Amino acid sequence: MEFDLTGQPEIVQLAAGYALQIWEIAKSWALSPAAWSQFALLVLAYVLAVIAAARLRGTLTRLLTPAAEAESIIARSRRTVLMFLPLLLPLLAYVFTAVGESVVRSIFDSGAVIAFGKRVFLFLAVRTLVRDIISDPLLKLLGKYVLIPIAAIYALGLLDAVSAKLTETTISLGNISFSVMSLIRGLIAGSVLFWLGGWSNRQSAQFIESQQDMRPSLRQLIAKVVEFSIFGIAFLLLMNIMGINLSTLAFIGGAVGVGLGFGLQKIASNFISGVILLIEGQATVGDYVELDGGESGRIVKMTARAAILETFDGRWIVVPNEDFITTRVVNYSDSGSANRYEAPFSVSYDTDINRVPALIEAAVATHPGVLNEPYPPDCELRGFGDSGIDFAVEFWVNGFDDGPNKFTSDVLFLIWNTLKENDIEIPYPQRVVEIKGGVPDLAS
């Protein structure tokens, strides 16, 4: 039966032509003895693949499964290889079918049926890869809507025709021109490249952070340089894969330069300030800082534009890097330096104050967080108050007195217990009230 499709759109005519070709191929396969022998070889290859995969899967699982507590590079690599075991069956079927294809072509000088079966097994391998192995959301989306359709087109033997059509279709943006095929190729390559870039960046950042002999600020600087290098190389590779001449992007560089000179100067200033901070090491991740505006907190992250402070009430404060350069910043941590604090207290006027300094200094020195260097605890007489004699004990600790460390609170407990044990009275406010004119007679 023939249909007149001359009045239909080009895409309908093209689809009808492909459908007619597929129908003619199917009829030739159904009536050809060589085709039936190829079908038999396909079934045999699949059965052999099922048997071999069943035997190999158990052996490979035992050999590749590391100990549960192992976290070495080899152990992680073995776990990664185990993830790909679902591909064993379709890939073995593909290999056995390829062997059968070479045999069939040597006998019948034809292997279209078995070649189609081989492509189908490859499609099944791609489908298994996307469905059961890939877990990254971006790669899974790319595989579902790009990789699987491409594998299906390849299985049908239409990849060359579709590729040629997509290559002929071009898109122009100003003086940049590229084909739809290069755009699809760039989408696939870009997704893979930037995923690999993100993975490489995470691995390199973990390795750099493990180098404890380096200053924290230097580790941060090296990590940032590696990150920019990785994604810069990925971008250049992507442009090369898409076939875009980098010289055509010169006008974009000029526009970016103008933007940096006007609208983006603050971003550029913060970026340069961040590099200076990382080089000089004046403030780094983990330091507790107080800014000129009164904001204070621990630096939990330093980005190219800003530093993020976490306060002890759980808030995050985003501080531009430029503020660390142009304003006064107090760094209480300074990579682990000691800080001095003091705890004030008072004793009664009936106390022999000559005993107090030695008792308090000895008590405070027992605290595990109090240091003897640069100075041991020092109890000083501060003055004579309205209700008692004022003292204060100064002590040095590593870190700062807040958050998980309550040094002053612990020291005040030690002072209280020491004074009580030595029968030294802690005064409370006292007032003398004088009533002039005598006490009124309440009975009347």
Burial class (CB in 10 A: 0-12, 13-18, 19+), 126: buried
Tens digit of pLDDT for each residue in 417-439?
A: 999 998 888 888 767 777 776 66
Tens digit of pLDDT for each residue in 186-241?
A: 777 777 777 777 777 777 777 777 776 766 666 666 777 777 777 777 777 777 76
Residue 252: its pLDDT value, please?
A: 57
Dist CA 68 CA 70 (whole Å): 6
Q: Give strand ranges (E) for 252-357.
A: 288-291, 296-302, 306-310, 316-320, 329-331, 338-347
Dist CA 233 CA 240 (whole Å): 11
Residue 394 to residues 239, 374, 388: CA-CA distances in angstroms?
64, 12, 19
Residue ranges of the chain with pLDDT lower than 50? Answer: 1, 335
Q: Which residues contact 94 (CB under 8 A, 6 or more apart)?
A: 118, 121, 122, 125
Residue 181 to residues 2, 119, 158, 249: CA-CA distances in angstroms?
34, 21, 15, 20
Q: Which residue has the tokens 């003398």?
A: 432
CB 411 within 8 A of CB 364: yes
Tens digit of pLDDT for each residue in 338-367?
A: 778 888 999 988 888 898 999 999 999 999
Q: Encoding tokens for residue 75?
A: 């152990």
pTM for this model (two decimals):
0.49
234 φ, ψ to 5°? Answer: -60, -40
Q: What would you report as the CA-atom Rg of the chain, rounded to the nearest whole angstrom?
A: 39
